[in-house]
Amino acid sequence: MKIGFKRGQKGFTLVELMVVMAIIAVLAAIVVPPVTGTKQTSSESQVKQDASNVQTAVGKYNADSNLAEEITDSNDETFSTLNQILGAAIPDDTVTTSNRWPEKFVQAAYATEFPETAGTEDTTTASVTILDKAGIQIATSIGSSNLTGFLATYNAVDFDTLIDGGYLQQKPDGVEAMFTNQRPFHNYLWLVKRVSVDGVDNAGRVVEVYSLKKVQKGSGSALTYQRIY
């Protein structure tokens, strides 16, 4: 069956085609930026859902812990980075872990982000800044020692212990996610914060997740993490 133009029917002129293409280009410019950010938003949404499951697993682990509590401070560990972070001295007895919780030292879990001394290459950490959900700074290694207080309050989630005990089937995808291969900083810090329960200090743990929001290049990389969960 032949398909053709009826007598008197005209096709598009070159000018009309160019106008249509220009309109499409404008629409594409408007639509692409929001779509580009969708992957990061989707990733953080999954991390938040996984964090809720991890919080449940951490609580169950503690409920099953019948042994007497054993406290380990950084002096008992073999990691030299536990006594000094980015050039700041960390008192041994302020950085501790408890066997009643699936936790490990932040410096041991995230040695690239919290090295012993500040690095001078883009692939190394020069400084770390920690923000809360509102974007307010709660800790930084830049000209301040309050990073020590942060490390004394937080530990990293020990996923291997949770998996070995059957509390989790596997690590969430966001645990091992890296910024780039060239600059291997973790996209997320999975932490447990010490909290008081019924007036007892450090009797509980709350899972918090911090997302890498900025990597500023210079004499080493300046990392900024913000809490998303």
Q: What is the DSSP letter of 85?
A: E
* 4 assigned to some structural domain: no
Residue 106 lies in a domain: yes
Query: Residue 78 is part of which domain span?
Result: 17-227
Contact indicator for 163, 61 with CB cutoff of 8 Å? no
Please tell me the distance from the alpha carbon of residue 61 to that of residue 51, in angstroms, as a whole number. 15
Helix (H) or strand (E) holding 61: helix 38-63
19 alpha carbon, distance to own chain's centre? 46
**pLDDT recorded at residue 24:** 72
Q: Looking at residue 205, what is its pLDDT?
A: 97
Whether 195 is in a domain gets the answer: yes
- Asked, for residue 10, whether it belongs to a domain, the answer is no
pLDDT of residue 13: 76
Please check whether residue 6 lies inside any domain of the structure.
no
The answer to whether position 202 is within a domain reads yes
138: part of which helix (H) or strand (E)? Answer: strand 137-140
* pLDDT tens profile 207-219: 999 999 999 999 9
Exposure of 143 in the CB half-sphere (CA atoms within 13 A): 0
Question: What is the pLDDT, as a whole number, of residue 1?
Answer: 52
Q: Are 175 and 168 in contact (CB under 8 A)?
A: no
**The predicted structure's pLDDT at residue 134:** 97
Distance of CA 94 to the CA centre of its chain: 23
Answer yes or no: is 8 within a domain: no
- 1 occurs within a structural domain: no
Beta strands 221-227 and 125-131, pairing class = parallel
pLDDT computed for residue 148 by the predictor: 85
Q: What is the pLDDT of residue 87?
A: 84
Below-50 pLDDT ranges, the chain: 5, 31-38
**In the chain, how many domains are there?**
1
Q: Give the integer Cα–Cα distance in Å for 110 and 20.
A: 52
Burial of 141 (0-12, 13-18, 19+ CB in 10 A): buried
Q: Sort strands 154-157 and 188-197 into parallel, antiparallel or unpaired.
A: antiparallel
